[in-house]
A and B are shown apart, each in its own frame.
Chain A
């Protein structure tokens, strides 16, 4: 049977809360980017919004799936009827499979879309990458090979980090520095998720590091708004 629960029991629910914070930050930036697109019709804003929406959808899929998984396992604990609960999980397996598949597919697509906003790709390249990501997502669902997904995420996030770092060296904008740091931290969290099979504590560490990354991403966004408002006062 495919492993669905990566979190230690004491951390159940807390990871959902952390992921929800990620969704909040991502949607916030996506909403503003959409609003700016409506102002100047520059398609880059639209693509940026789309990439952040895709990543937030991935976390939503993860939240919904984890919520279902934890509730199913919780039933086992309270009722204590092992056989019945086991059957329930088997019945729901397809649901978990779809949930995690969407989580991984949306996450990789979102990271790649964000990467493509900055590093322009040919249509053929985009098609090939999407195909590769669909394959990688599918195979990452087999037992113990989910690290394929986290490794792919790590590579994409590292590339995004490098882009923002190079950009920061040119523009010296405080918010760009925060962007580079936040995506760098989120990339590091993927390394911990990769080794979650050794101990579930890696999942906890990964989630906490990811939370720090999203908080810094929020700081980056707030810095952008703050600078814009200060300029208006000036």
Chain B
């Protein structure tokens, strides 16, 4: 059984969900795809926006969350870390 998700796991899931949707996603979809509550997601989005990993934009009267270049780099680092963890058995 998988353990409780860490903060880094949640951020990884959020960024992966955005990338999976072609780099932009509606906040509600992000909430479902990342398996989070509304309050939890709001806190994480604010934090990730502050860290310049994602941006909030408005398109055709809809709110979207898009991943930044820094977000892509961070996601790559996370995936490398996961492979490292898997290979070394950490």
Looking at chain A, what size class is its interface with the partner chain? 20 to 34
Closest to A232 in B: B76
- A45 in contact (CB, < 8 A): yes
Sample 14 A-B pairs with CB under 8 A, ordered by A number: A36-B84, A39-B77, A40-B8, A42-B90, A171-B87, A176-B86, A179-B87, A220-B87, A224-B83, A228-B76, A228-B81, A228-B82, A229-B80, A231-B83
Which 5 pairs of residues, A with B, have the shortest CB-CB distance?
A: A228-B80, A175-B87, A44-B90, A40-B8, A228-B83
- CB pair B8 A173 closer than 8 Å: no
Main secondary structure of the interface of A (DSSP, over half): helix
Main secondary structure of the interface of B (DSSP, over half): helix
Q: What 1/0 mask marks residues of chain A from 40 to 66 whose CB sits below 8 Å from any chain B CB?
A: 101011001000000000000000000
Looking at chain B, what size class is its interface with the partner chain? 10 to 19
- A200 in contact (CB, < 8 A): no
Q: In the docked arrangement, what's the CA distance between A231 and B85, Å?
A: 15
- A167 in contact (CB, < 8 A): yes
Which residues of A are interface residues toward B (Cβ below 8 A)?
32-33, 35-36, 39-40, 42, 44-45, 48, 117-118, 163-164, 167, 171, 173, 175-176, 179, 220, 223-225, 227-229, 231-232
